[in-house]
C-alpha cells in the first residue's frame, strides 16, 4: 500500500516510519525541509521524500494522487511563529482539501484526550482539527492519547529533568491532576494497527496505558525506577505564569511550550473505555515499565527521535538551505586554524561536541552563557544532543541547530538559536592538507549587535583558542 506520512521529521512519525516500511508499505514522507530528513538511515527503496508545507497550498501539488491512506501527525504547539490554534486550523484544512482529491480511503489522526468539558487551548485546538479532518470524503480514524512516555518524548524528558535535578520539589497544585500515560511503543502499535482496518473507519478511540496516575505519582514512579529518593510538596499559590517559569528554568523545554503544557496539565486526561485493544490484540504496558524501557533506550544511545529537534528559530522557518551559505559582508569573525596529525581523531571530537562532552574549553563560560540565554527567554544549553557520536542536519545541539553535517567532506556547520542581537554561525572544517579551520561568524543587528560582539570578544579569545587546541589530535 502507498501511505502518506505527514510530520515526517517529528517525534511520532520517526518512530512509525520504520514500522510501516517493515510491513511492506511504500511511504511518501512530507517534510517542509528535505535536508532535515536523513534518508540514508532507512536504506529503503520504498521510501520517498517530498517537500510540502501544509500552511502553503502551493507546495502541496507534489503529493501523489494514488495514495491508499494518510497519517496526520502535524502539530504546531511549540511553533515559534504565530498562534498555534490558527496554524493548526489552516494546516488541517489544507490537508483535508488535498487528500480528498486523492484515492486515499483512510486518514489516521493522532490527537489528545478531550473528555473534559473545560479544555486547554492545546486540547481545544486538537479537537477542532479532528472536526476539520472529519469533513473529508475519506474515512477518518482518530486516536486520542494523553502523556506519551518514550525516549526523547517531551513528557519523558521533562519528567526526567525534574526528578534528576531536584531532590526536593515545591511544585504547583496541577501535579495532583490525573492522567493516563501510554508507552510510545503502544502508540505505534495502535497507529499501525488501525491502518486500513475497516472496522476502525469513522471512529475515535482513547488510547492509554493501564495506570491512572497524578503527575506527582508519575514523578515519584520515575524516581523509583531510577532508584532515587525524592520529596514533593504541593503549594496552591503558584500561578500559571510562575508554573511555566518553573518548568522553563528547570527543564529543557522552551517557555512557549512550558506555557502550553501547564495549561494542558490542569485538565484531567483519562480514557473512555473502548474495544480497540481487543480488536487489535494490543496489551499496553504500565507506566514504570514504559519509563524503564525509555531509560534503557537512552542509556544505549538508541533514541530514534526527539521532541527537541522541532524547529524553534523564527529565522529557520523558511528552511535550512537558505542559511548554509554563511554571509561574508557586514559580519564579524573569529577565525582560527591549526594543523592536525590525525584528521579522523579530530573529526570524531568535532562530531562529539556539546551535550555531555561539552565544548572542550571553558565549559563554565558556556554554562553561564546558557543561563543568561534562559533569563532572556532562549533555549539555553539544556537541550543537549540526541546521540553522543552522530549528528544530522536539523537536529538541536545545546543552543545550536545543525545546518550541515558532512562527515565525508569533514565539515560541521551550526546556527545559533540563543537570543542574540543578530545571527551567529560556528563552523568546523578539515581541508585536504589536514588543516582544521574553526570560524565563528556573527552578523550584527544594528548598534546593539555591534556592542554585543565587542563585549564578548575577550571571552572569544580564550574560549575559541582553547577549543581548537583541544579539538586537534
75-95 pLDDT tens trace: 865 554 447 788 889 999 999
8 Å CB contact between 343 and 410: yes
Give the pLDDT score at 306.
65
8 Å CB contact between 67 and 86: no
Average pLDDT (238-261) is 73
368-396 pLDDT tens trace: 888 888 877 777 777 778 778 888 887 88
Instruction: Give residue 67's pLDDT band: very low, low, confident or very high (50, 70, 90).
Output: very high
Q: Which residues pair with 145 in a beta bridge?
A: 112, 207
Give the pLDDT score at 318.
59
8 Å CB contact between 436 and 346: yes
Instruction: Give residue 149's pLDDT band: very low, low, confident or very high (50, 70, 90).
Output: very high
How far, in whole angstroms, is CA 74 from its chain's centroid?
12
Q: How many helices (H) and strands (E) does the chain have?
A: 14, 19
Rounded to whole angstroms, the Cα distance separating 244 from 238 reads 10
Of residues 318 and 53, more confidence is placed in 53
User: Residue 356, exposed/middle/buried by CB under 10 A (0-12, 13-18, 19+)?
Assistant: exposed
158-183 pLDDT tens trace: 888 889 888 998 888 888 889 999 99
Highest average pLDDT, of 13-17, 205-209, 363-367, comes from 205-209
Rounded to whole angstroms, the Cα distance separating 5 from 29 reads 5
Maximal CA-CA distance, the chain: 67
Rounded to whole angstroms, the Cα distance separating 423 from 444 reads 7
Lowest mean pLDDT among 9-13, 111-115, 162-166, 388-392: 388-392
pLDDT over 90 (residue 220): yes
8 Å CB contact between 343 and 407: no
b/e map 70-93, b = 16+ CB within 10 Å:
bbbbbbbbbbbeeebbebbbbbbb
User: Residue 220, exposed/middle/buried by CB under 10 A (0-12, 13-18, 19+)?
Assistant: middle
Give the pLDDT score at 80.
46
Shortest CA distance to 24 belongs to which of 240, 251, 196, 180?
196
Phi, psi for residue 434 in degrees, rounded to 5: 65, 35
Q: Which residues pair with 416 in a beta bridge?
A: 400
Residues 6+ apart with CB under 8 A from 17: 5, 8, 27, 29, 42, 47
Q: Look at strands 422-430 and 411-416 and give their pairing.
A: antiparallel
Rounded to whole angstroms, the Cα distance separating 399 from 383 reads 7
Euclidean distance between the first and final Cα of the chain, in Å?
50
Rounded to whole angstroms, the Cα distance separating 429 from 420 reads 24
8 Å CB contact between 179 and 155: no
Give the pLDDT score at 38.
76
Which three cell numbers, joined as nine digits, stand for 407? Answer: 562527515
b/e map 334-351, b = 16+ CB within 10 Å:
bebeeebeebeebbebbb
Which residue segments constitute the domains of the chain, with CATH numbers given? Answer: 2-308 (3.40.50.720), 311-471 (3.30.530)
55-66 pLDDT tens trace: 888 889 889 999
Give the pLDDT score at 435.
93
DSSP secondary structure letter of residue 410: T
SS3 of residue 216 by DSSP: helix
The mean pLDDT of the chain is 86
Angle between helix 121-133 and 255-265 (nearest 10): 80
Give the pLDDT score at 308.
61
CB neighbours of residue 255 within 10 Å: 16
8 Å CB contact between 360 and 349: yes
SS3 of residue 104 by DSSP: coil
Rounded to whole angstroms, the Cα distance separating 210 from 286 reads 6
How far, in whole angstroms, is CA 102 from its chain's centroid?
30
Rounded to whole angstroms, the Cα distance separating 43 from 218 reads 38
8 Å CB contact between 29 and 5: yes
Q: Which residue pairs, CB below 8 angstroms and at least 24 apart, start in 276-279?
A: 276/190, 276/194, 276/200, 276/205, 276/207, 279/197, 279/199, 279/200
Instruction: Give residue 155's pLDDT band: very low, low, confident or very high (50, 70, 90).
Output: confident
b/e map 102-123, b = 16+ CB within 10 Å:
bebbbbbbbbbbbeeeebbebb
Which three cell numbers, joined as nine digits, stand for 300? Answer: 544505549
Instruction: Give residue 417's pLDDT band: very low, low, confident or very high (50, 70, 90).
Output: confident
Amino acid at each position: 500500500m502507498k501511505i502518506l506520512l505527514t510530520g515526517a521529521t517529528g517525534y511520532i512519525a520517526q518512530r512509525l516510519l520504520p514500522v510501516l516500511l517493515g510491513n511492506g508499505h511504500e511511504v511518501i514522507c512530507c517534510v517542509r525541509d528535505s535536508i532535515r530528513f536523513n534518508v540514508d538511515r532507512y536504506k529503503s527503496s520504498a521510501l520517498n521524500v517530498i517537500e510540502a508545507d501544509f500552511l502553503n497550498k502551493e507546495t502541496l501539488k507534489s503529493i501523489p494522487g494514488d495514495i491508499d491512506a494518510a497519517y496526520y501527525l502535524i502539530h504546531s504547539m511549540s511553533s515559534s511563529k504565530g498562534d498555534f490554534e490558527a496554524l493548526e486550523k489552516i494546516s488541517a484544512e489544507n490537508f483535508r482539501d488535498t487528500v480528498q482529491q486523492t484515492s486515499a480511503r483512510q486518514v489516521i489522526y493522532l490527537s489528545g484526550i478531550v473528555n473534559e468539558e473545560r479544555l486547554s487551548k492545546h486540547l481545544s485546538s486538537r479537537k477542532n482539527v479532528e472536526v476539520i479532518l472529519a469533513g473529508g470524503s475519506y474515512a477518518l480514524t482518530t486516536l486520542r492519547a494523553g502523556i506519551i512516555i518514550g525516549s526523547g518524548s517531551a513528557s519523558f524528558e521533562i519528567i526526567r529533568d525534574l526528578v534528576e535535578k531536584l531532590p526536593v520539589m515545591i511544585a504547583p497544585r496541577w501535579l495532583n491532576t490525573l492522567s493516563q500515560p501510554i508507552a510510545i511503543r503502544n502508540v505505534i502499535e495502535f497507529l499501525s494497527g488501525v491502518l486500513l482496518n475497516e472496522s476502525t473507519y469513522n471512529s475515535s478511540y482513547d488510547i492509554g496505558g493501564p495506570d491512572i496516575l497524578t503527575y506527582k505519582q508519575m514523578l515519584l514512579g520515575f524516581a523509583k525506577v531510577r532508584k532515587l529518593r525524592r520529596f514533593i510538596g504541593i503549594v496552591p499559590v503558584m500561578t500559571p505564569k510562575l508554573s511555566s517559569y518553573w518548568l522553563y528554568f528547570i527543564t529543557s523545554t522552551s517557555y512557549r511550550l512550558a506555557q502550553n503544557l501547564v495549561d494542558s496539565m490542569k485538565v484531567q486526561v483519562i480514557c473512555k473505555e473502548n474495544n480497540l485493544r481487543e480488536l487489535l490484540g494490543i496489551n499496553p504496558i504500565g507506566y514504570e515499565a514504559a519509563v524503564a524501557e525509555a531509560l534503557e533506550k537512552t542509556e544505549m544511545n538508541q533514541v530514534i527521535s526527539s521532541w527537541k529537534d522541532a524547529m524553534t528559530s523564527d529565522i529557520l522557518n523558511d528552511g535550512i538551505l537558505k542559511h548554509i551559505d554563511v554571509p561574508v559582508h557586514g559580519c564579524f569573525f573569529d577565525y582560527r586554524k591549526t594543523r592536525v596529525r590525525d584528521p579522523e581523531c579530530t573529526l570524531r571530537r568535532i562530531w562529539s561536541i556539546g551535550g555531555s562532552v561539552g565544548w572542550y574549553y571553558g565549559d563554565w563560560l558556556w554554562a553561564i552563557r546558557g543561563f543568561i540565554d534562559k533569563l532572556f527567554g532562549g533555549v539555553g544549553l539544556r537541550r543537549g544532543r540526541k546521540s553522543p557520536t552522530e549528528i544530522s542536519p536539523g537536529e538541536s545541539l545545546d543552543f545550536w541547530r545543525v545546518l550541515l553535517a558532512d562527515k565525508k567532506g569533514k565539515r560541521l556547520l551550526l546556527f545559533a538559536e540563543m537570543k542574540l542581537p543578530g545571527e551567529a554561525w560556528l563552523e568546523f572544517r578539515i581541508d585536504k592538507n589536514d588543516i582544521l579551520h574553526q570560524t565563528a561568524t556573527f552578523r550584527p543587528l544594528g548598534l546593539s549587535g555591534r556592542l554585543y560582539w565587542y563585549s564578548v570578544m575577550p571571552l572569544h579569545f580564550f574560549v575559541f583558542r582553547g577549543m581548537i587546541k583541544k579539538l586537534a589530535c
